[in-house]
Amino acid sequence: MNAERTLMNVLQQQLFQGKTILLLGARQVGKTSLLKSLLAQLDAPSVWLNADESDIRQALDQADTSTQLLQLAGQARIVVIDEAQQIQNIGRKLKLLYDTRPDLQVIATGSSAFELQNKANEPLTGRKREYQLFPFSYAELVNHFGLLPEKRLLHTRLIYGSYPEVVNNPGKEKEVLTELANSYLYKDLLHFEGIQKPVLLQKILQALAFQVGSEVKYQELAQTVGGVDPATVEKYIDLLEKAFVIYRLPALSRNLRNEIKKGKKIYFLDNGIRNVLISNFSPIDLRQDKGALWENYLLSERKKRNAYAGHTPNCYFWRTHDQAEIDYIEEYDGTLHTYECKWKASRRKSRIPASFQEAYPQHTYNILDESNYESFLM
């Protein structure tokens, strides 16, 4: 399957506009396939430098001057540096290429934001455009398969997620996800000097997988995984977020004394990764965590939708100490758009909490279930 990626048109429009392009995303989400498809459509000479290959990485590491870098580029008009976070001083080297050859389009990809963004942000200030590629989005799959076939696959997506290799191998999802988790999920993290206990990393991920949709407290999580320092747990979670495995959703707190003020929820960017971590691929109708899976799926797909559309709302959940709560909130221009994720729940039983309604009168209220979720994701 070769589904067209939403970012294809965006990248086409950004080529040769005087900016270095950074394409970020977890390993195996399709960055290489996307860029090779892009290059195949262009009538421009290009060179591909894959930093996963030791000789290329060494050549880039040793290239300290613009002359040496331009020798690697040759006569190309487009240079792709794949997995660029592995290159020493990559930010300065991208700046040298930008300043020396303004006609050269450089595209750098990275599977770990903590490396590539940190190294490139300051040298490339005002010189870059940054994009994130996710596993297949709901809209991309609908555009490829059609709306009705994709809706029929909803239960499959809730269990196995939407990584390209998973989608492209129906019937082999478990094997693909296991290989993905074992071979790629931690690859960049384990090379990062801050990760000294890979077993602890695995325990934290498994604990987070069981807490999807619930408030996460670092102190409690530290005790759950073996009495480690909460600061260490927070550091590992920060790295997992920057490696595009999870993301954090903060609590909304402005008006009420009993609101949760510093709470956070943590979601996985892909349901399949969440399920492989707890080794649970049972059908959705047999699961006790179907509500959590539904919430994780909707919010991760919404994150993709917003990123690709260029939408940047403030995003929250809301909860009080007496357990009044709202699953998800987006804030646009002072208006709060609230959403409740309900798996086969009666709409008549779902109401916005009176305390929220009184404290935040500028709001809308929406219930997301199987009858209407597609409009939330497209």
Cα dihedral: 276, 244, 302, 20 (round 10): -150
Domains of the chain are: 7-132 (3.40.50.300), 138-315 (no CATH)
pLDDT digits (tens, 9 = 90+) for 349-360: 678 999 899 889
pLDDT at 253 (0 to 100): 83
Flag whether pLDDT at 114 surpasses 60. Answer: no
Lowest-pLDDT choice from 192-206, 235-249, 272-286: 192-206
Radius of gyration of the chain (CA): 22
pLDDT at 188 (0 to 100): 67
Do residues 377 and 301 lie in contact, with contact meaning Cβ atoms separated by under 8 Å?
A: yes
Flag whether pLDDT at 192 surpasses 70. Answer: no
Q: What pTM does this model have?
A: 0.93
pLDDT digits (tens, 9 = 90+) for 323-332: 889 999 999 9
pLDDT at 169 (0 to 100): 96
Do residues 58 and 89 lie in contact, with contact meaning Cβ atoms separated by under 8 Å?
A: no
- Measured between alpha carbons, how far is residue 340 from residues 9, 66, 181, 244 in Å? 33, 54, 30, 25
Whole-number average pLDDT of the chain: 91
Identify the CA nearest to 25 among candidates 2, 42, 7.
Answer: 7
Diameter over CA atoms, the chain = 69
**According to DSSP H, which parts of the chain are helical?**
7-14, 31-40, 54-62, 66-73, 90-100, 113-120, 138-145, 147-152, 154-160, 164-167, 173-183, 198-210, 218-224, 230-242, 271-277, 290-309, 354-359, 373-377
Angstrom distance (rounded) from CA 54 to CA 112: 18
Do residues 107 and 125 lie in contact, with contact meaning Cβ atoms separated by under 8 Å?
A: no
Lowest-pLDDT choice from 102-116, 204-218, 308-322: 102-116
- Measured between alpha carbons, how far is residue 73 from residues 54, 106, 244 in Å? 17, 10, 30
pLDDT digits (tens, 9 = 90+) for 151-190: 999 999 999 999 999 999 999 999 999 999 888 776 667 6
Do residues 370 and 344 lie in contact, with contact meaning Cβ atoms separated by under 8 Å?
A: yes
pLDDT at 205 (0 to 100): 92
Looking at residue 252, the DSSP 8-state letter turns out to be P
Angstrom distance (rounded) from CA 363 to CA 329: 9
CB proximity list for 223: less than 8 A, separation 6 or greater: none
Give residue 88's identity as a one-letter amino acid code.
Q
Do residues 296 and 213 lie in contact, with contact meaning Cβ atoms separated by under 8 Å?
A: yes
Angstrom distance (rounded) from CA 176 to CA 182: 10
